Amino acid sequence: LTDATLENPLGMEMLRIFRFEDSNVFRNITRFSVDGTILCDEDMEFLANLTHLENLSIIRNSKVTGKHIAELSNVKELQLSGCENLSHYFLVDILNSLSLNSLDIRHSTFTDVAMHLTNLMWLRCETLVTLKIDWRLEHTIMTLQTLQSLKNIEVRNFNTNPCAACIQNELLPVQDQNFQIPPPRCTCADEPETRLTQRFFRTLAARTSITKLTLEAEVLCRNLNYLPHLQQLTHLSIIAKKIGRDGLCVPLNFPVIIGQLANLEYLYLSRFFYCFDYLIYIVSRCSRLNEVRLKQCVGFSDVVAYDLVEVLKRKRTKDQLPFRFYMINLKDDSSETCSENSSDSQQEVNRFEDIADYIKVIFL
């Protein structure tokens, strides 16, 4: 046994077994995942017996504060996502004690401290390569400036709410050309947080060692002008907060800007609405792009794969093929899930066999 996952409610019984059975039974566990409020701080002590434990994931837990995790000396990858009571004090202890390669603390609430303490918290993280965090204004920028070993960063939960003027503009009716009411002035650019977001992108552009980036589509679309300065990116993941017609409004220059990333190899889009024309353009412009993943995107049809093949024939060499195209819970015009329909029979799964030399279509 090398991998264990506990979830409510059966996880409680499994936890009892872990506590009281011979620890030698579990001595080879390297990955341990817990989803829910099964564990509390005291339960962390028994994990110290798992001497080969390298990956620990605790998700959606309101009991764990981070106490005793610093004692798990072999842990290299740590996820404390959705831990509402994560303590800044114990987080500092963890960062000072463990040689982490990967850390995920998204959706975990802890009190912000003075800026110099944020700097000190990250200074000893010389091995941290992957970081997933929430947007915390100046503290996020300081984190980005301090972590010199970072190569992969994900930042979520930016404030992208429109100002009152933006909302009013969206509600204005179509006006007569001879009588137009001037729209109210947008004040989004005047907000202090907007300036901090722009500073974040400038800092990101200066960190040329960061090659993998995950951001929310709403904040990226508002700051597209910074993206051409991130030529070091090989992996880009863009996730919209909402899906459908009432969700993200993608700027017309979105595919043009993405297409300027000369080193892009991997693109992930989530919750986009009719993005396939954009995708075809991006694939035609980014010559190194060899894998695209789409999740919960609306408006799919089989034509997309064949249109991509026409681009690949012109824009890729034989050694760059087949192109990998992953589709996860996509919706067609009838709102049916394509990935579910495609797994009904072997004939459906293999319906792209005639273009398999150019593109590998994978439904998940």
pLDDT one digit per residue (tens) for the chain, 364 residues: 678 777 765 555 566 666 655 556 677 889 999 888 778 888 887 788 888 999 999 999 999 999 999 999 999 999 999 999 999 999 999 999 999 999 999 998 776 677 777 888 898 899 999 999 999 999 999 999 999 999 999 999 998 776 555 545 544 444 444 545 555 556 666 678 889 999 999 999 999 999 999 999 999 998 999 999 999 999 999 999 876 555 567 888 999 999 999 999 999 999 998 888 999 999 999 999 999 999 998 887 788 899 999 999 999 999 999 999 998 987 765 555 555 444 444 445 567 889 999 999 998 8
Position of tokens 């701080």?
Answer: 41
The answer to whether residue 94 is domain-embedded is: yes
Residue 341 · residue 348 · CB < 8 Å: yes
Among 172, 217, 222, 174, residue whose Cα is nearest residue 197: 222
Bridge-based pairing state of the strands 152-156 and 130-134: parallel
> Which domain does 11 fall in, by range?
1-103
Residue 52 · residue 28 · CB < 8 Å: yes
The answer to whether residue 45 is domain-embedded is: yes
Q: For 113, left (φ over 0), alpha (ψ -120 to 50), or beta?
A: beta
Among 189, 173, 190, residue whose Cα is nearest residue 181: 173
Residue 194 · residue 162 · CB < 8 Å: no
Q: How far apart are CA 40 and CA 61, in angstroms?
A: 8
Among 281, 322, 282, 277, residue whose Cα is nearest residue 297: 277
The answer to whether residue 37 is domain-embedded is: yes
Q: How far apart are CA 69 and CA 48, in angstroms?
A: 9
The answer to whether residue 335 is domain-embedded is: no
The helix (run of H) or strand (run of E) holding residue 6 is: strand 3-7
Per-residue CA distances from 139 to 136, 150, 159, 260 (Å): 6, 16, 15, 30
The answer to whether residue 249 is domain-embedded is: no
The answer to whether residue 12 is domain-embedded is: yes
Q: What angle do CA 56, 294, 227 make, to 5 degrees?
A: 85
The answer to whether residue 160 is domain-embedded is: no
Residue 129 · residue 102 · CB < 8 Å: yes
- CA 39 vs. chain centroid, Å, equals 26
Q: Hey, which residues does 328 pair with through a beta bridge?
A: 295
Q: How far apart are CA 312 and CA 286, in angstroms?
A: 11
Q: How far apart are CA 123 and CA 118, in angstroms?
A: 9
Q: How far apart are CA 227 and CA 204, in angstroms?
A: 10
Q: Which pLDDT belongs to residue 189?
A: 65
Among 201, 302, 186, 296, residue whose Cα is nearest residue 257: 201
Q: Which pLDDT belongs to residue 246?
A: 58
Q: ω into residue 322 within 30 of 0, thus cis?
A: yes
Q: Which pLDDT belongs to residue 182?
A: 57
pTM above 0.95, yes or no: no
Domain count, the chain: 1
The answer to whether residue 93 is domain-embedded is: yes
Residue 257 · residue 220 · CB < 8 Å: no
Q: How far apart are CA 2 and CA 230, in angstroms?
A: 39
Among 110, 106, 218, residue whose Cα is nearest residue 154: 106
Q: How many CA atoms lie within 13 A of 272 on its CB side?
A: 26
Residue 38 · residue 10 · CB < 8 Å: no
